[in-house]
Amino acid sequence: MDDLAVLFTNKIINAANLSIPKTNTFNKAKPWWNEELKSLRKAMQKLYRKSKASGYSLYKRELLDSKNLYFNTIKKTRNNFWNSFLEKEDSQSIFKAMAYIKDINN
């Protein structure tokens, strides 16, 4: 019976490996992302879970402040990255920027 269970499990794993598409990660998907944004996201998610556990009555103001800080920091960091990237004297940076923002599916 144990051998049958192992065989059945292996068949399921093989079928899943063949039919479920693998996700691709790209190293330069968000070149402007940094550790500060990561820590702000974690803090926002922590406050969201606390707020949700309290029925969205407690931590509401803190959550809104955290969300605003997180999204404003993303906007500022992204703008600073692309401005400094495009201000380079290198003429190839424009083409590199186009490669970053090009739609993968097209």
- pTM of whole model > 0.95? no
Cα(45)–Cα(31) distance, rounded to whole angstroms?
Answer: 22
Q: How far is CA 100 from CA 27, 29, 32, 36, 48, in A?
A: 11, 7, 11, 22, 32
- The pLDDT tens digits of the residues spanning 12-67 come to 999 999 898 887 766 667 888 899 999 999 999 999 999 998 888 888 899 999 99
Model confidence at 104: pLDDT above 60: no
* Per-residue model confidence (pLDDT) at position 89: 66
Written as one letter, the residue type at 7 is L
* Per-residue model confidence (pLDDT) at position 71: 96
Chain CA centroid to CA 36, Å: 14
Written as one letter, the residue type at 93 is S
